[in-house]
């Protein structure tokens, strides 16, 4: 499907009995997300939040028909949990965890490549806010009440700036088709390009806001793809324009190395691809409105 989740998605929560997972799973259930169970090794056979708990992801998938998971797994064990989810055949795994060792994520990405593309698990995160299709399903830790249903797709490295975009759009009477937080780590499961391609194929999305930041090359690579293949308008914003070189700014991946990955460099790439770029975070929605009036 062109979007990642909807009201028909059957979701399990990995680590469901932990306090953070419990809080956010309860919020997702209240939002309408179809959570069908959870996984906590050693607690199989119990019930939590009136959902069955299983020892393994394979057991959960077999019993519930789950297609997606939200993972709240401590950093030392997160890599194994992601590979377990892929091995169980889940279509989508969204992992919130911050602080997963980069080497573990390299192992996970290599592991995923053993599967054919059509059966390969889509991984969103780590260190992300999650995914929401307003009014349909929420898979993450975002405040669901600020999201209004509409036709604007949002993909962001920063969870907080994704919330900011949602609030700005709602204030102007606009809404979101799907918002995806890809996470701020140097190695993440899916890229801007991956999700821009989904938005390009999504009939419910008319325009996309792409929120980047300093560090890495994802935004520049996405700009090349936008220029070559994207038919829908893309509004960009890149955080960190005044960030000093060599200093990490918040996210582990937000660091300029060797003069590469600066905000100015990424803004130039986006503008060269024909995208409008908002000058400040508070201008994301108004920049979109200005573009729509043309």
Q: Which backbone phi and psi does 224 adopt, to 5 degrees? A: -60, -45
**Strand order, beta sheet including 122-124:** 47-48, 51-54, 35-39, 11-14, 68-71, 92-95, 122-124
* Catalytic entry in 8, 48, 195, 251: 251
Query: Is the CB of residue 167 less than 8 Å from the CB of residue 108?
Result: no
Copy the structure tokens of residue 240: 């960190």
Indicate the SS3 state at residue 138.
strand
Task: Reply yes or no on whether 251 is catalytic.
Answer: yes
Indicate the DSSP class of residue 244. P
Dihedral sign for Cα 288, 161, 101, 36, please: negative
Question: Which strand (E) or helix (H) includes residue 219?
Answer: helix 218-229
Q: Catalytic residue numbers?
A: 251
């Amino acid at each position: 499907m062109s979007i990642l989740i909807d009201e028909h998605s059957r979701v399990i929560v990995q680590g469901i009995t932990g306090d953070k997972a419990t809080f956010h799973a309860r919020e997702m259930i209240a939002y309408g997300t179809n959570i069908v169970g959870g996984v906590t090794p050693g607690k199989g056979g119990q019930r939590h939040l009136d959902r069955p708990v299983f020892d393994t992801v394979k057991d959960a998938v077999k019993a519930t028909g789950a297609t997606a998971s939200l993972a709240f797994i401590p950093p030392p064990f997160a890599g194994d949990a992601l590979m377990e989810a892929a091995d169980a055949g889940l279509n989508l795994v969204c992992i919130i965890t911050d602080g997963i060792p980069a080497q573990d994520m390299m192992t996970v990405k290599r592991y995923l490549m053993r599967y054919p593309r059509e059966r390969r698990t889509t991984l969103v995160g780590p260190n992300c806010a999650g995914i929401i299709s307003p009014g349909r399903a929420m898979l993450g830790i975002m405040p669901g009440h600020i999201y209004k249903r509409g036709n604007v797709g949002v993909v962001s490295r920063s969870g907080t700036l994704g919330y900011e975009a949602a609030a700005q759009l709602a204030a102007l009477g606009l809404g979101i088709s799907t918002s995806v937080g890809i996470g701020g780590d140097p190695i993440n499961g899916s890229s801007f390009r991956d999700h821009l391609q989904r938005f390009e194929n999504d009939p419910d999305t008319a325009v996309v806001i792409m929120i980047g930041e300093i560090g890495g090359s994802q935004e520049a690579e996405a700009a090349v793809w936008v220029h070559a293949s994207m038919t829908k308008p893309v509004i960009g914003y890149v955080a960190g324009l005044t960030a000093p070189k060599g200093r990490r700014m918040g996210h582990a991946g937000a660091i300029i190395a060797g003069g590469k990955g600066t905000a100015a460099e990424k803004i130039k790439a986006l503008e060269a691809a024909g995208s409008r770029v908002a000058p400040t975070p508070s201008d994301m929605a108004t920049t979109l409105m200005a573009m729509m009036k043309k």
